[in-house]
Amino acid sequence: MSGAETGRQAAPAAARPAPDGASAGHEVLAVVFQIRGDRLCVLLWRRARPPYEEHWALPGGRLGGAEGLDGSIRRQLAQKVDVRDLAHLEQLETRGDPCRHPRGRILATAYLGLVPAGIDPVVPEDTGWHPAVDLPDMGFDHADIVHSGRRRLRAKLSYTNIGFALAPPEFTVSQLSRYYSAALGHDVAATNLRRVLLRRGQIEETGGSVASGRSGGRPAALFRFRTRRLEITDAFAVLRPPAGS
């Protein structure tokens, strides 16, 4: 993993484990990705209070006493960052290191969320999108959780149709290849991507097209994902980077 990908994660601030037999708190966090300007970006908010004051963190918060995990993270996202346009949300991992939080033992269940390109969710002033390969100073173990989210997304692009959650309802193959390239971290040829996704039954033509640019040529066909819910389409597939990259 490169230095840029690692990001700048703050050292634990006087972390202390809970005493034996003590109950643990529980928080839910969300790694929300979107392709913005041909870059994979993650949604972060800047903390205003200790611990890790002025550091960036993942959106989320404490699990309510009467809440389920899924309901809690959806509430946190809707209330705190006004992200209501998630095309996909799944549980990513749970972390239980006794020293991950400086105020005692707090479990964290993280989710992976995806917002399609072309949508611009309304977020508060202390919240913004950051390139996932160039993270700002982050508190807790949140930078590591972002990297876990990237690995999960890369893997699922290989064997599922999760690309539907990155793309708008209709797109050209050229556009789709840019979304895949941004998420995977390497170039994806449009011709090869079209062949693979058609063979797997993930995408289909809409019958529409968009006018060609100044260079002229044939109008580009518009495609859509056959379904906009998660499906495993090739359990053994891997989308690898080009040789020598």
Domain that holds residue 71: 6-155
pLDDT at 229 over 80: yes
Assigned domain for 74 exists: yes
What pLDDT digit, counting tens, does each position of 46-104 carry? 999 999 999 999 999 999 889 999 999 999 998 877 777 899 999 999 999 999 999 89
Question: Pick from 94, 120, 155: which residue ends a domain?
Answer: 155
Owner of token pair 């090869």: 192
**Would you call the peptide bond into 241 cis, given omega within 30 degrees of 0 as the criterion?**
no
Q: What angle do CA 137, 141, 145 make, to 5 degrees?
A: 100
Single out the residue of 158, 155, 64, 162 nearest to residue 113, CA to CA.
162
The answer on 70 and 15 residing in a single domain is yes
Assigned domain for 230 exists: no
Residue 49's Cβ-side half-sphere holds a number of Cα atoms within 13 Å equal to 0
Owner of token pair 């072309």: 118
pLDDT at 219 over 60: yes
The answer on 126 and 47 residing in a single domain is yes
Q: What is the mean pLDDT of the chain?
A: 88
What pLDDT digit, counting tens, does each position of 174-188 carry? 999 999 999 999 999
Q: Give the residues across from 159 on adjacent strands.
A: none
Angle subtended by helix axes 173-184 and 190-199, to nearest 10:
100
Looking at residue 201, its amino acid is G
The answer on 87 and 30 residing in a single domain is yes
Looking at residue 90, its amino acid is E
The answer on 178 and 150 residing in a single domain is no
Q: How many domains does the structure of the chain reveal?
A: 2
Pairing of strands 60-62, 127-131: unpaired
State residue 4's pLDDT score: 46
Are 128 and 200 a contacting pair, CB within 8 Å?
Answer: no
Are 170 and 228 a contacting pair, CB within 8 Å?
Answer: no
Question: Pick from 155, 189, 213: which residue ends a domain?
Answer: 155
Residue 50's Cβ-side half-sphere holds a number of Cα atoms within 13 Å equal to 6
- Supply the CATH number for residue 185's domain: 1.10.10.10
The answer on 16 and 126 residing in a single domain is yes
Question: Pick from 131, 155, 179: which residue ends a domain?
Answer: 155
State residue 245's pLDDT score: 55
State residue 3's pLDDT score: 43
